[in-house]
Structure 1
Amino acid sequence: MGRALLFLVAGSFVIFGMLQLGVSGRQSSMNEINVGYVLDAQARNIANSALESALNRLMTDDTWRAGPQQPFRYQYGDEYADVQVVDASMQGVTLPPNVIEIRSKGVSGDRQASAVARIEVEDSLPTIESTMGIFTNNLTVNISGSSFLIDGNDNAAVPGGALPGIAVNSQAAYDEFMKLNSSQLDKIQGPGGGTSIVLNTEMDADALETFIAQAVANADAVYDDHTASGANSLGSVEDPQIIVVNGTLDIRNATGAGIIIVREGGILDARGNLDNYQGLIIIQGTAGMSRGNIHIRGAMLFGGANPAIEIDIDFRGNVNILYDSSVLNQLSASMPETAGKKQRVVGIYD
Structure 2
Amino acid sequence: MGRAMLIIVAGVLISLGITQTSVFGGLNNLAGHSANYAEATQAQNIAYMGSEIAIRAMLDDPDWRNGQRTFNVDGGQASVGVEETGTDDQIRLVSVGRFNGETQRLSLLLDESENSLVPRINSALGLYMDNASDYSFGISGGGNNKGQIIDGRDASGQCEDLPGVMASDSDVYKDGSDLDDESDNINGDSKFGYDPDMDFNDVVTLIEALHSGTSGVDYTNLQNKVDQDDFGDVNPETGIPDPGVFVVDNTTAKISGNTVGSGILIVRSSGNVDVEVEADLQTAGTPEFHGLVIFENAFALSSSGAVEIFGSVLVGKSNENAPKFDIQFNGKAKLQYDCRAQQYADMAASRTARRVFQQLSVYQTSVNPSSNSNSEEDDSLLEDVINGLL
Normalized against structure 1, the TM-score is what? 0.64
Aligned to 2:208: 213
Within the candidate set 319, 342, 348, 2:354 is matched to 342
Structure 1 position 313, deviation (Å): 0.9
CA–CA separation in structure 2 for the residues paired with 1:203 and 1:86: 39
Checking the alignment, whether the CA contact within 8 Å between 1:234 and 1:257 is kept in structure 2 is: no
Alignment correspondent of 1:312: 326
Aligned to 2:174: 174
1:297 to 1:60, Cα distance in 2 relative to 1, 3 A: farther
Say whether residues 1:123 and 2:126 are aligned partners.
no
Quick one: higher RCO (CA 8 Å, sep 6+), 1 or 2?
Answer: 2
CA contact (8 A) 1:235 1:241 kept: no
Instruction: Indicate yes or no: 2:318 matched with 1:287.
Output: no
Are residues 1:145 and 2:141 paired?
yes
Pairing partner for 1:255 from 229, 252, 260: 260
Cα-Cα RMSD = 3.9
**Uncovered stretches (5+) of structure 1, i.e. residues with no partner:** 1-44, 66-71, 91-99, 107-112
In 1, distance between residues paired with 2:225 and 2:150?
Answer: 26
**What residue identity is the alignment partner of 1:230?**
Q
| SS class of match (1:318) | coil
**Residue identity in the other structure for 1:248:** T
% identical aligned pairs: 22
Say which SS state the counterpart of residue 149 (structure 2) adopts. Answer: strand
**CA distances 1:94-135 after superposition (whole Å, capped 9, x unpaired):** xxxxxx4323589xxxxxx96421234323202433211112
Query: Which residue is 2:29 aligned to?
Result: none
Distance 1:327 1:105, change over 3 A: farther
Which one-letter code corresponds to 2:176 in the other structure?
Answer: E
Equivalent position amino acid for 1:163 in 2: L
CA distance in 2, matches of 1:332, 1:105: 32
Deviation at 1:141, TM superposition (A): 1.9
Supply the distance in 2 between the matched residues of 1:301 and 1:86 (Cα, whole angstroms).
39
Structure 2: distance between partners of 1:274 and 1:86: 44
**Residue 386 (structure 2) aligns with:** none
Name the count of aligned residue pairs.
273
Matched, 1:240 2:243: yes
Question: Could you list the per-position Cα deviations for residues 267-302 of structure 1 after superposition, in whole angstroms to 9, with x for gaps in the alignment?
Answer: 111122213x211101232111112x2222221101
SS of the equivalent of 1:141 reads strand
Counterpart Cα distance in 2 of 1:196 and 1:139: 19
Shift of 1:224: 7.1
Flag the 1:204–1:181 CA change in 2: closer, same or farther, 3 A: closer
In structure 2, how many angstroms separate the alpha carbons of the residues matched to 1:82 and 1:119?
Answer: 13
Could you say which residue in structure 1 is the equivalent of 2:372? none
| Structure-2 residue corresponding to 1:300 | 313
User: In the alignment, is residue 102 of structure 1 matched against residue 102 of structure 2?
Assistant: no
TM-score, length basis structure 2: 0.58
What is the rounded CA distance, in whole Å, between the counterparts of 1:206 and 1:75 in structure 2? Answer: 40
